[in-house]
Chains A and B, each alone.
Chain A
């Protein structure tokens, strides 16, 4: 956004600019929230420091690119397929790597996940080269203009789908039998197993769900930004920031955390420097962990 503010109309333009930043933050925040709730299931509830989360996000975007641009699949069908493929890849990672590490030390699990992250990222680079790819979208190119503000149709669609997926996840975890089994498994594995919960399958299902949400976020944002092999790194960092901001395993906290991070970034980019956009998430992580390690919206039982 241009900053050639002349002195005469400084007042109203500054306000409009601020409102435009707020709208951008709202649109971006929904996808951040989607990334965040995916990770809060895996990192917050399963306690797996999931370094592959960003790669699942990139995988979703690449599947979207392959389906829409290479195989000419309908945009909306491709979105569903990319999300499903992400969930399958996540489930496979869980089955192959994490199932053997159930009782392993957290450091061991982290190292294995770092290895998986390096493998996935470089396989993407090998398959699709380092060149950035664009994905066409079926929405009108002209933005909706309301007074001095403007929003593109694509962004509104992304916002709506992200909110929908967040709501579905919320109901799934808090209102279904599967969700209850998930919560029981990660609260007390032995007791849950004694109650007849198939805990191995619950582990895989939870990881697949979180990964599917990350892939959905990638598939939604891919058509807005460009698709590159390293796009997952900042996404993973943001997801960790959001989970820590919202409190471990707190779905509502992660949702709000996503919007807060997006807002902080937009304000930072608009008024400080665009070079530091990705630094804001890291600074938030450091500050939150040092001064309020239970997150902003701590639930009492999560404090450890």
Chain B
């Protein structure tokens, strides 16, 4: 006797639950196996309202465009004009976001510096201090002051071109850093004053100040220490952006960095990455509104980060009011993150077996936290790190940053702008109601900006 269901019911027998889909089942099975939350790298994977939901209104009859290849379009970007005697002057508004030595290898840090220097932009240190490699290779280096203060010392403050006080990051606003033991090799351990191989959990609050009034004094200390020369950035993970930006400005920041929830991380709980913070698109507009409210637009510069991938993303961020962007994950991908192969000593090698050993494949990998990066980017392993050769990495990253800058100027010219910083919200419309509401630009084909009356 057959136990098969009648053929007409087969699809119902295989109906996937929307609430308990296969990813959710995997999650529950994993949780019930381990009793421990999942930790991973990179940023939010879920679909979010983003810059893709906006389009530019290119010039036509009511406005005229600039000739794409003949007329100049300025990309020069100046950061830190409020109090610092030596503001940061960049050739492009596209900067490299803060990423730690520890999360990344010394080779990668060197590649970042070489590429950034070649295109005239800045790189940023991370949790764990400044390496000689990155100071040597990066002409303009932003030095982070983080809650952990790992490797933080006044000599490096003096060597830096700007200081970034980090309150949080988009992947985990309210959380501290993490570096699992596999990546705490002897050099990383020594720089951070930690035992080798320890699963390092960084503090989420600064050790010597709490709240906006204290931050004002902390910023003053850093200014006094550097004789008021270097710009002070304040970086916040995007949550209560309007209030946080206002408080950062009141505390005396020269530059505010807002990192949206698509921002990456080397290791954070998945529940944190996917469920805390607001999308970058929503954060930009709120940050600009806060600056405008204080009449500080153009006086305090705004850097936006979190899921910026293309020249179009950069152009849209600038049009909404950012002065510059910072890119982390896109930069790592330019270096080969999630490629199926790597190049070493002039030869191409497949990385697929190493992805498979991590239980993943090129295109899906988020195993930065394991330190077993198949392409040698997010690792401290002596063999794996050789898979990213600084010159190869620098060349690819330079190409990526150049491409983005070219795309940015192409779009700016199409909107009739001689300077990428002249892009404005009026150049944009939204494709979805959500993005129209978040970015406060009209839904395409209408005059409707959700939430705006009159």
A binds B: no
Give the B-binding residues of A (Cβ under 8 A). Answer: none
